Amino acid sequence: MTNIDLAAKAVAVVIHAAGKFGTDEQKAALTLIGKDAAPADLVDTFSRIGNVSAVRQELEKCGALKVPPTEHSAFQRAVLHALETLRTKK
């Protein structure tokens, strides 16, 4: 099994169990990867899911995670608010 396959399987297992992918799910996936990856491959395999936010975004884009269209992160809400503020100043 390739490194990407190991990472994908671990992420799929935790998404299937939790229905989401956040910090706790990342830790669970890293634990699964640690059990299955060859020691020499750990860094490469871990790096595939090292950024929780980026992984979650990728999973949302492909439909692996379902997110209600009205559910925004704190950062997204802040950017939307800032944009609205800028638009109303025109």
pLDDT tens digits along 56-86: 889 988 989 987 777 777 888 889 889 999 9
**Threshold 0.75, pTM exceeds:** no
* Dihedral-angle region of residue 54 (phi above 0 means left; psi in -120 to 50 means alpha; beta otherwise): alpha
**CB 21 within 8 Å of CB 54:** no
Treating both helix axes as pointing N-terminal to C-terminal, what angle do 23-36 and 52-62 enclose, rounded to 10 degrees?
90
pLDDT attached to residue 57? 87
Residue 77 has a CB neighbour count (10 Å cut-off) of 10
Domain coordinates of the chain in residue numbers? 3-88
Q: Which two tokens stand for residue 19?
A: 């229905």
